[in-house]
Amino acid sequence: MSFFSVKGLSKHFGGLVANNSIDLDVEKGEIRGVIGPNGAGKTTFFNVVSGFYTPTSGTVEFKGKVISGLHSSKIAKLGAVRTFQRAALFPEFTVLENVIIARHLNADTSLLNAIFRHNTKAEAGNLARSKEIIEFLGLKDEQDNLALNLSHGHQRVLGVAMALATEPELLMLDEPVAGMNSSEKAVMVGLIKKIRDTWGITVLLVEHDMKTVMSLCDKITVLDFGEKLAEGLPEEIINNDKVIEAYLGADDIVA
């Protein structure tokens, strides 16, 4: 039994088939890349497996439990959490406050306790863990700055911090290095590796940037027109003729 297992997953929008009978199995501790041309159905796939959309057909199992059809908040509580292609932050709050809020949104402890700084034992624990996550991701110097004042790279790292605040076992990242310069990309690649290597978190990653995909992923799944076109080791995928024709030869790859 796989840690995360998708079987025959389809998502239709009216007559448009965004995902067509996708099978995908991810092992615990793996970093899996999902690539493919614009409109291939990658974000839709994330939206379905994380419970933001209901599948038209097919099933998703996580840790042996069927999660397809469950609400996104329930799936997050079970430990499968996604980030968004565009960062979803609270711009007028500090980095630390953003992480604390994210922690509460997925926990049964009261957000009001945090807002009114009620110094309960649970709140002290939340604060300590939030600070630990911020430090782990290299954001300690930004801890008291407002999210809106962060660089784009740091805003994306904060998005990851907010996902980690919910203590996921499966972290799904939608284009984590989009819009970043090369040094910001290198930082994000290092952090994703560290998240897996240190905390053993399984990572599912949608990304156009092939350098990032090649340096991070244990295995890659390629989607094209909503279907799985290929799957394999990074070196198999970049040498796969079908993949080169559908995607890697195209101009739309963000280098």
Ligand X SMILES: Nc1ncnc2c1ncn2[C@@H]1O[C@H](COP(=O)(O)OP(=O)(O)OP(=O)(O)O)[C@@H](O)[C@H]1O
16 makes contact with ligand X (CB under 6 A): yes
The residue sitting closest to Mg ion, measured at its beta carbon, is 43
x/- site string to Mg ion, residues 20 to 59, per CB under 5 A? ----------------------xx----------------
124 burial level (CB within 10 Å; 0-12, 13-18, 19+): exposed
173 makes contact with ligand X (CB under 6 A): no
Nearer of residues 29 and 39 to ligand X, judged by Cβ = 39
Min dist CB 184 to Mg ion, Å, is 20
Count of positions on this chain that bind ligand X (CB under 6 A): 11
Helix (H, G, I), strand (E, B) or coil at 123: helix
- Selected range binding ligand X among 10-18, 75-83, 94-102, 194-202, rule: CB under 6 A: 10-18
Which of 219, 220, 176 is CA-nearest to residue 195? 176
Nearer of residues 146 and 178 to Mg ion, judged by Cβ = 178
38 makes contact with ligand X (CB under 6 A): yes
C-alpha torsion angle, residues 162, 164, 170, 176 (rounded to 10): 60
When CB distances are held under 5 to 8 angstroms depending on the partner's kind, the choice from ligand X, Mg ion, none that residue 155 binds is none
Please state, in angstroms and as integers, the Cα–Cα distance from residue 72 to each residue in 22, 59, 69, 86, 113, following that order: 20, 15, 9, 18, 24
Contact criterion met (CB below 8 Å) for 110 and 103: no
Tally of CB atoms within 10 A around 102 = 24
18 makes contact with ligand X (CB under 6 A): yes
Contact criterion met (CB below 8 Å) for 27 and 199: no
229 makes contact with ligand X (CB under 6 A): no
- Which residues make up the interface to Mg ion (CB under 5 A)? 42-43
- Which residues make up the interface to ligand X (CB under 6 A)? 13, 16, 18, 36, 38-44
